[in-house]
């Protein structure tokens, strides 16, 4: 039973007199986030009356951590679990949740993106790479709000050479904190604010925020490398966009800080928010998810929000940040390869992969041994364990001073520390998946010689060892090459669909480069520094954290060319122009196992910058569609009205609201849950003509697996004017019993444009609230 407010208020005042700072520090009180929905008619920057009343007792005891008053309403404060339970029952409160810690999702990539264009447009692309990065389309005056670990303003990537005055619509500030002065901002970094309570400075002491910001909007910097690797010009996707840095993380990110940064960014006037962070696992109660809350209100204010899908792959349903108003980004490889050559005593050279700075001689003079030959003499250790160099399986006296060949065929395969701690000279690791991903840069192992090779090459080395009495080898320092195939490949770590919110919504939306991306770093973090050297200015790291700012930068470019387009139009352009093939025309694969990727891995495919500026047709998702999503997800109208304070008069949830209706949201992809034999499901979509021609005729083609019937009505869309909207139905049916989820594509084309949407038909559903 709900307690009346007067009792709660009295209780809190009493608590003031008995609560001390010591009790807070003893762990009796924790930080809770109180979310109270939208602003409604109250003026941005002011407190709602009910918010002020709830805040007052906590303010009196200095327990308030954050106050949200611009784009939405609420606060974060130290309180007991009992207090949190009482506040949760008060009118006007949507949710009260313990302050959770989100994780950071931790330059060739832009050149690689230019290679990914549809083959039929190679001879006459709508926009060439040169045009795309010309001064007219480089994102000038688009403001990107980076929710991350701050920024390192001295990096050359953040110089403001050639930029004009700061846009007049900007309302943010450059907050002076400890070692960050107002002069640290310029015409590139136009704002910096700190909301991370443990490290009270806007300065990036971790490096992650500088890396993501320079990837999205860094100025061109020639001659950049990571200790000689990946030498080239570092540049952001939208190099003349402005950056507003909101420090909401150190190594982790608190709910309360994320919300504070997003609330401020709404007030300040950013165009796009970029969040390379997320929870450890999906959150199905949307109003306990800080990113979902902040993004909802950002979209209400016309701001696009781009987020990382997560690094929990390859497990199914591991994707996070999967509400429909967020653009969710997976991670994939590029064609740049960091090779570490293994030279055998017979001078045969094998190009493995990996990043290390070996000090071994180029001459193959070091003894070479395989795991079975180095096995300890014990009945408990099998040849299989030793072949895979399992902990405890190798004899230290046989390993010491030698290069060891280890296979990676079973769970718990060799760790670098196991081999290095036994005194090995180096490690040759047989792992087909890791050779593709090359995702190994480990603190403490940068100078340890290693190379990751294919199973074919591993067997060749094993044959050399067995045919020579004194086999020798060396591992050379890593080098850089381009044109590596296959590329792109979905990274092993990249989180996968289907969405835990509902299988009637396809997530992630898109994939972009996220493996071994070089970008700016903090001089205060020595994690990737070679022993005895200062932290580098630029480092190479991987994660959906790195793929997210690629999409952010592209979105900024689109926004600069189409300033009236909302977040959904920009997302549609990115999704419907994506490619599903590698640079050699073969299907995009996924790790592990190099199987063919599906929309659960990459959404609509790999971003294709050659087409995004001019997509032909777009799927627009008005805010009312998100209200209907909430209805169909299971929230009642009173809760939705509390959240969406500016909801249209007369709006109500459908009487038949249910999760199946989520499929009808006007999204650039189609997802249907619980699709079974002898069932028929129909969805409707509406597209807007934004092509160069006022009059245009589009024909549909369907790519579907055998036994699935897909009918599109009508099969032709005849537009008579620009910005005209036309709708079509898609009907799915089958008489066949499928054993696994079903994927396919619906493509509208008119000779100049190719507008492609994936569909995913799931046999089950995970919808819950």
- Domain end, chosen from 481, 504, 526, is at 481
- Quick check: is 260 in a domain? yes
Catalytic residues: 148, 208, 545
Task: State the pLDDT at residue 3.
Answer: 33
Choose one of 99, 128, 149: the last residue of a domain. Answer: 99
How many distinct helices (H) and strands (E) make up the chain? 19, 38
Q: Are residues 183 and 204 in the same domain?
A: yes
Is residue 157 domain-shared with residue 259, that is, in the same domain? yes
Dump pLDDT digits (tens) for 256-279.
999 999 999 999 999 999 999 999
pLDDT tens per residue, range 206-235: 999 999 999 999 999 999 999 999 999 999
Sheet holding 680-689, edge to edge: 617-618, 680-689, 725-733, 709-713
Q: Would residue 541 count as lying in a domain?
A: yes
DSSP string, 376-391: -S-TT--HHHHHTT-T
593 domain residue, yes or no:
yes
pLDDT in tens, 373-387: 999 988 789 999 999
Is 615 within the bounds of a domain? no
Q: Are residues 130 and 243 in the same domain?
A: yes
Please give the angle made by the CA atoms of 179, 181 and 186, to the nearest 5 degrees. Answer: 130
Of the candidates 231, 308, 190, 239, the residue with the CA atom closest to the CA atom of residue 536: 231
pLDDT band at 10 (very low <50, low <70, confident <90, very high): very low
Is residue 642 in a domain? no
Q: Which of 620, 487, 595 is nearest to 112 (CA)?
A: 487
If you ran DSSP here, which 8-state letter would residue 262 be given?
Answer: H
What are phi and psi for residue 176, nearest 5 degrees?
Answer: -85, 125
Residue 242 maps to a domain: yes
Q: Is residue 453 located within the same domain as residue 501? A: no
Q: Of 347-356, 379-388, 726-735, give the range with the top mean pLDDT.
A: 726-735
How many structural domains compose the chain?
3
Measure the CA dihedral 77/81/87/89, to 10°. 150
Residue 290 sits in the same domain as residue 169: yes
**149 and 221 within one domain:** yes
Query: Residues of the chain with pLDDT > 90: what percent?
Result: 79
Average pLDDT of the segment spanning 453-481: 96
**Claim to verify: residue 524 and residue 575 sit in the same structural domain:** yes
Among the three residues 602, 629, 645, which one is the final residue of a domain in this structure? 602
Q: For residue range 31-67, what is the model confidence (pLDDT) as tens digits?
A: 999 999 998 767 888 899 999 999 999 999 999 999 9
The CATH number of whichever domain residue 32 belongs to comes to: 3.30.70.80
- Look at residue 78 and tell me if it is in a domain: yes
Domain residues for the domain of 324 are: 104-334+488-602
Q: Are residue 281 and residue 219 in the same domain, yes or no?
A: yes
Left, alpha or beta for 468 (phi > 0: left; psi -120 to 50: alpha)?
beta
Side-chain half-sphere exposure of 442, counting CA atoms within 13 A: 13
Q: Are residues 562 and 586 in the same domain?
A: yes
Tell me the sheet residues that pair with 194: 247
Residues 293, 328, single domain; the answer is yes
Specify whether 352 is located in the same domain as 322.
no
Question: Domain holding 564: CATH number?
Answer: 3.40.50.200
| Overall average pLDDT of the 281-285 stretch | 91
The CATH number of whichever domain residue 433 belongs to comes to: 3.50.30.30
* pLDDT level of residue 106 (50, 70, 90 thresholds): low
429-459 residue pLDDT tens:
999 888 776 555 655 678 999 999 999 999 9
Domain annotation covers residue 725: no
Are residues 266 and 172 part of one domain?
Answer: yes
Whether the CB-CB separation of 205 and 179 falls below 8 Å is answered with no
């Amino acid at each position: 039973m709900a307690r009346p407010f007067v009792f709660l208020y009295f209780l809190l005042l009493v608590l003031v007199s008995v609560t001390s700072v010591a009790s807070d520090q003893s762990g009796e009180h924790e930080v809770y986030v109180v979310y109270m929905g939208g602003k409604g008619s109250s003026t941005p920057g002011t407190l709602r009356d009910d918010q002020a009343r709830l805040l007052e007792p906590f303010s009196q005891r200095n327990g308030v951590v954050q106050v949200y008053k611009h784009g939405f309403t609420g606060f974060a404060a130290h309180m007991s679990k009992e207090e949190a339970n009482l506040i949760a029952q008060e009118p006007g409160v949507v949710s009260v949740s313990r302050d959770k810690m989100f994780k950071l999702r931790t330059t060739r990539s832009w050149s690689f993106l230019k290679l990914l264009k549809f083959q039929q447009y190679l001879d006459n692309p709508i926009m060439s790479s040169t045009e795309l990065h010309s001064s007219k389309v480089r994102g000038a005056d688009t403001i990107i709000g980076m929710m991350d670990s701050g920024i390192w303003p001295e990096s050359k990537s953040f110089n403001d050479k050639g930029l004009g005055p700061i846009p007049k619509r900007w309302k943010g500030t450059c907050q002076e904190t400890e070692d960050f002065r107002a002069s640290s901002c310029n015409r590139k970094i136009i704002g910096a604010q700190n909301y991370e309570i443990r490290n009270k400075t806007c300065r990036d002491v971790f490096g992650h925020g500088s890396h993501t910001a320079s990837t999205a909007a860094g100025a061109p910097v020639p001659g950049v490398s990571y200790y000689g690797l990946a030498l080239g010009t570092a540049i952001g996707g939208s190099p003349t966009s402005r950056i507003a840095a909101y420090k909401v993380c150190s190594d982790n990110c608190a709910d309360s800080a994320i919300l504070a940064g997003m609330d401020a960014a709404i007030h300040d006037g950013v165009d796009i928010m970029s969040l390379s962070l997320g929870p450890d696992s999906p959150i199905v109660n949307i109003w306990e998810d800080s990113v979902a809350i902040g993004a909802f209100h950002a979209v209400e204010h016309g701001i696009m929000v781009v987020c990382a899908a997560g690094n929990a792959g390859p497990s199914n349903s591991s994707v996070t940040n999967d509400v429909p108003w967020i653009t969710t980004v997976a991670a994939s490889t590029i064609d740049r390869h960091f090779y570490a050559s293994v030279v055998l005593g017979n001078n045969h050279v094998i190009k493995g992969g990996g990043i290390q700075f070996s000090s071994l001689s180029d001459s193959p003079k070091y003894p070479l041994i395989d795991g079975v030959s180095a096995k300890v003499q014990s009945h408990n250790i099998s040849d299989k364990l030793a072949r895979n160099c399992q902990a405890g399986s190798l004899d230290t006296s046989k390993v010491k001073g030698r290069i060891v060949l280890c296979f990676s065929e079973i769970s718990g395969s060799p760790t670098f520390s196991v081999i290095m701690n036994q005194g090995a000279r180096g490690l040759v690791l047989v792992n087909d998946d890791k050779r593709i991903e090359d995702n190994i840069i480990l603190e403490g192992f940068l100078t340890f010689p290693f190379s990751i090779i294919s199973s074919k090459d591993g067997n060749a080395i094993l044959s050399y060892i067995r045919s020579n009495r004194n086999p020798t080898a060396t591992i050379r320092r890593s080098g850089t090459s381009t044109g590596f195939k296959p590329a792109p490949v979905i990274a092993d770590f990249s989180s996968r669909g289907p969405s835990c919110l509902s299988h009637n919504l396809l997530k992630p939306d898109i994939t972009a480069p996220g493996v071994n991306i070089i970008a700016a770093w903090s001089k205060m973090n020595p994690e990737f520094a070679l022993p005895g050297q200062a932290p580098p200015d630029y480092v190479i790291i991987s994660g959906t954290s790195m793929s997210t700012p690629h999409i952010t930068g592209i979105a900024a470019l689109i926004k600069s060319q189409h300033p009236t387009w909302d977040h959904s139009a920009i997302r549609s352009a990115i999704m419907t122009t994506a490619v599903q093939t590698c640079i050699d025309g073969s299907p995009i694969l996924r790790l592990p196992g190099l199987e063919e990727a599906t929309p659960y891995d990459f959404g609509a495919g790999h971003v294709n910058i050659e087409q995004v500026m001019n997509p032909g047709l777009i799927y627009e998702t008005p805010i009312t569609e998100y209200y209907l999503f909430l209805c169909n997800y299971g929230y009642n109208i009173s809760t939705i009205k509390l959240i969406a304070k500016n909801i249209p008069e007369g709006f109500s949830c459908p009487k038949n609201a249910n999760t199946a209706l989520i499929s009808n949201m006007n999204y650039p992809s189609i997802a249907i849950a619980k699709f079974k034999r002898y069932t028929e499901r129909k969805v409707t979509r509406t597209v807007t003509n934004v092509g160069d021609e006022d009059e245009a005729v589009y024909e549909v083609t369907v790519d579907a697996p055998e036994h699935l019937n897909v009918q599109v009505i009508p099969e032709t869309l005849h537009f008579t004017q620009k910005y005209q909207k036309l709708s079509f139905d898609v009907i799915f049916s089958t008489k066949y019993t499928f054993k696994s989820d079903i994927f396919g594509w619906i493509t509208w084309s008119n000779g100049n444009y190719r507008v492609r949407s994936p569909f995913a038909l799931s046999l089950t559903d995970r919808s819950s609230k």
